[in-house]
Chains A and B, each alone.
Chain A
Amino acid sequence: MPELKCKDPVAVNLWYAIAPLEDVKDARVQRSVLLEQPIAYTRNDAGDVVVWAYEGRPGDAPGDRALPVKERFGYFWTTLGMPERDIFPIPEYEEEDRRNIHAASFGVNASAPRLVENFLDMGHFPFVHTDILGAEPHTEVKEYFVEVSEERDEILASNCKFWQPMAAASSSGGADVDYIYRVPHPFCSVLYKSSPLDDGRNDVIAIFIQPFNQEQVRVHMLLSLLDDNSDDTQIRLFQQTIFGQDKPILENQYPKRLPLDPRAETPIRADKSAIAYRRWLSGKGVAYGVIPPSA
């Protein structure tokens, strides 16, 4: 078996979402890249998704380089290593009255951790998602809580509130919207946002990042909503608009890899979750897509 280009054992031994199941319909062989390793996938005669690594030409079947496959949250996941842990749970996904939608997969010329930080960040709403998720002069990021759960090995940011101009289609004006963020995987994040339609329950938006290499990724976005009114196209267009606003910012961050040295950039109180994320990555020894702190 040829050696992997990715030398980071933490990154190798993780599960990654590669494509939505709805895009793997037939026996056509499709190609992708994970951690610089070319991979191919298809649906076999038995109707199961199969994935394999290859060099040169993909061929039409796994041969001796088949990779593990799991189906979860409407995507198939694979790994180049041997993960000790299962894919993290999103219990809401199973609730019967939810609509689970694959919103889109976006290619971004940025590192995976820069994307996760952007996903956790509220301060940019008025400037990047102007008049949708935020509007000047309402720019304040209020105090929120961040904890790292030892037991679940994930970061939780709660009690996050941000003033949004049109929290819901039915709103007559701006209001504070509540958010909860989870980072259960170095390159995945899940957010819970108070549902405009169902008091006390949350809409769920998750991103699963597939690193092509250290500075180029594809991000798969899952929605699990309590919305019965909008059609899938409207919902997808909304998320694509939002992501289209983030993309040019992400591609203009320098350095592209996330610096873990606390003195590389200037954090403020609003960045508590990002500070916790950087420490968590350092603690895990993640070396892929980051600039490790100098000794």
Chain B
Amino acid sequence: MSDLHRKWYPIASSSDLPKRHVYQAQLLGREFAVWRADDGYVNVWENRCLHRGVRLSIGINNGSDLKCQYHGWRYANRTAGCTYIPAHPADAPARTICNNTYPAQEAHGLVWAGEQASGDLPPLDGFEAATVLRPVPVLAPMEMVVEALLAYGWDDSCSGRANADGSVTVTAADGAEVRLFVQPMDSNRSAIRGVSNQPVKGADRIRLLKRHSWLMQELRSQIEACASSQEAPPPYQPVIARVSEDLVDIPAIGTEMRKAELRVQVAGKEMTAEGIVSLRLEPVKGSLPTFQPGAHIDVHLPNGLVRQYSITNGPGETDHYRIGVKREPNSKGGSAAIHDAVKAGDVLAISAPRNNFPLRRNAEHTIFVAGGIGVTPLISMARALNAQGLSFEFHYFVQSDDHVAFKPQIGEYEQALILHKALTPEATGARLTEILAEPGFARHVYICGPGPMLEAARAIAAEQGWSDETVHFEYFANTAEVDDSTAFEVDLARSAMTLKVPAGKTILEVLRENGIDMPSSCEQGACGTCRCGVIEGAVKHQDVYLSDAEKAEGKSIMTCVSRAVSDRLILDI
């Protein structure tokens, strides 16, 4: 990296980024896709999709994410993380699929960027109400253009001077001043981007722009005549960064344990419903990793407990995570700690988002069934489908109006929202039977809620002909009693180790004692993070994550709770 790469350059005018547009820019030979999200954030990304290299500047700006034209991959506002791969709708994309982003700022009507830019933008005192001139492309190296700009002027009183930041200031006797920056698009291609200190409007503005365009074109001809008489420098060869190694072989194997790698500040804490508090978590520094609809985070509480909470954010809401926490009357201290001890301004440790409840977006119709606080992951899913205009209905079972959480968020899809209030278990069952009356081609159901309701919904769905692959669910907790009285051996096929799992210990614990890096989150068989492949041996499943079909198949195990029926299991680790 040379000094050139550490500087800020204007690469576009703010007016080049109208709503839902993607602008193609170039700096030092590298192309950028530049786009403004609906929340105003300006994204400056490398102009190629990580999948097959297609320019993202021909992609679609959805306001919250950028969709590649070729295979419909979606990259989130701000983080550039891939949130959806349509070819594999049942999979959550690996968190490491993330496009290259570059530092960007917007100031004085210009968008500034640099491959490794840091520090402050060039100061522009006296240009607070400036007019941005039309950019002028010049087929010449940057240095030659800067040199020629020193002689730029619109009347005899004009004089130019070079500034330490590489720009040129031209001042007239009447105080009119123009600051000219040169954007090195490539070694032999530049753009002059100027700002005038005259805050003109309407016809005066057009007159000013025309006058400068005219004069600049004359200067451009002179510079290009001069440049064409010299040998052109070789074009810059921007380095294309290689993708991370774990993306080469598929599927990627998670290597993280229960880590609290992020620090977030509680930026807001408010009651969103009876007994449910909503927390807005913002990064202490830098930005937050990309989340996908259905994802959860581990929250490490001041009292040492670790709890999982689903992210409720809509697509593109990438500057914070919003979670909902219900006060559990039988709380072991998790929900009570959040309700009573955590306050706005506190810093919490959290894990990066993990998605074990991925949302398919290839359904013709999706039915969401939420019970109580189980609404949280489904809110994020429904917001994603709603933004894409896909068909869905959202059933929300609550005790009363006061228990309806996240009203502004679910209000986004009012047309699909159906509240079911104060139903008895029997009435709930009858209602579920109606809701789940019509299985069919490309129809999917997502259920999250209290254990008994979830069990009922799954049973009713199965009865009415919904296949296992079309019914997706997430339990908050595994309430079943876990039997850990057996002892057995595990063979680790890839690590070539044999380990003894004694009574009273989980496979996960034994793996960790022996230095095997295994990710986990809830550690009670509900979340699916510690899932591992089984090559041989019968499994005693004690989790609530796997579907009945997956359990019967016996190809996966939740290492935090499940055990061997036989004396030995061969695991794919």
Contact = CB atoms under 8 A, between A and B. Distances in A.
A268 B51 contact: yes
B471 interface: no
Given A265-B51, A267-B250, A269-B250, A127 B58 contact: no
A262 B72 CA distance: 22
B361 A263 contact: no
B110 to A, nearest CB: 26
A136 interface: yes
A126 B51 CA distance: 16
Given A253-B54, A266-B97, A137 B88 contact: no
Interface in B11-57: 31, 47-48, 50-55
B70 A249 contact: yes
B69 A268 contact: no
Interface string B227-252: 00000000000001011110110110
Interface stretch (A27-35, A95-103, A138-146, A230-238): A138-146
A123 interface: yes
A133 B227 CA distance: 50
A124 B70 contact: yes
B465 interface: no
A270 interface: yes
Q: Is the interface of B mostly helix, strand, loop or mixed?
A: loop
Contacts of B53: 253-255, 259, 265
B161 interface: no
Contacts of A127: 69-72, 86
Nearest to A274: B52
Contact of A138 (B240, B250, B251, B442): B442
Interface residues of B, number: 36
Given A252-B55, A254-B55, A265-B51, A137 B362 contact: yes
B54 A137 contact: no
A10 to B, nearest CB: 23
Counting from the closest, the 4 A-B pairs by CB-CB distance are A139-B86, A263-B242, A270-B87, A123-B87
Contact of B364 (A124, A137, A248, A267): A137
Contacts of A267: 51, 247-248, 250
B199 interface: no
Nearest to B245: A263
B87 A268 contact: yes
Contacts of A255: 53, 240
A266 B247 contact: yes
A169 B90 CA distance: 31
Contact of A266 (B47, B70, B243, B390): B243
Interface string A261-295: 11111111110000000000000000000000000
A24 interface: no
Interface in B74-115: 85-90, 97
Give the residue among B86, B247, B248 with the most A Cβ atoms within 10 A: B86
Given A140-B362, A252-B58, A263 B87 contact: no
B240 A137 contact: no
Given A123-B86, A253-B52, A128 B31 contact: no
B348 interface: no
A124 B88 CA distance: 12
A267 B50 CA distance: 9
Contacts, number: 99
B277 to A, nearest CB: 35
A249 B54 contact: yes
Contact of A123 (B48, B71, B247): B71
Interface of A: 117, 123-124, 126-128, 136-141, 248-249, 252-255, 259, 261-270
A226 B265 CA distance: 66
Contacts of B87: 123, 139-141, 268-270
Interface string B404-448: 000000000000000000000000000000000000001000000
Given A124-B70, A139-B72, A249-B70, 18 more contacts: A127-B70, A128-B70, A136-B86, A137-B361, A139-B87, A139-B89, A141-B88, A249-B54, A249-B58, A253-B52, A253-B54, A259-B53, A259-B240, A263-B245, A265-B50, A265-B52, A266-B247, A269-B87
B183 to A, nearest CB: 20
A272 B152 CA distance: 58
Interface of B: 31, 47-48, 50-55, 58, 69-72, 85-90, 97, 240, 242-245, 247-248, 250-251, 361-364, 390, 442
A268 B86 CA distance: 11
A139 B361 CA distance: 9
Contact of A269 (B58, B88, B242): B88
A257 B173 CA distance: 55
Contacts of A137: 86, 361-364, 390, 442
A274 to B, nearest CB: 8
Contacts of B54: 249, 252-254
Contacts of A263: 242-245, 247-248
Contacts of A117: 52
A124 B73 CA distance: 10
Contacts of B71: 123-124, 127
18 contacts: A117-B52, A123-B86, A137-B442, A140-B90, A248-B58, A249-B54, A249-B70, A253-B53, A254-B48, A255-B240, A259-B53, A263-B244, A263-B247, A263-B248, A265-B52, A268-B51, A269-B251, A270-B87
A164 B291 CA distance: 31
Give the residue among B242, B245, B363, B390 with the most A Cβ atoms within 10 A: B242
A253 B55 CA distance: 6
Contacts of A252: 54-55, 58
Contact of A261 (B48, B72, B242, B251): B242
Contacts of B47: 254
Contacts of B364: 137
A123 B84 CA distance: 13
A15 to B, nearest CB: 28
A254 B31 contact: yes
Nearest to A258: B53
A102 B362 CA distance: 36
Give the residue among B245, B247, B364 with the most A Cβ atoms within 10 A: B247
A69 to B, nearest CB: 36
B71 to A, nearest CB: 5
A268 B248 contact: no
Contact of B242 (A123, A139, A264, A270): A264
Contact of A264 (B85, B86, B240, B250): B240
Nearest to A138: B362
B113 to A, nearest CB: 18
A261 B242 CA distance: 9
A141 B85 CA distance: 11
B74 to A, nearest CB: 12
Nearest to A256: B53
Given A127-B70, A128-B70, A268 B88 contact: yes
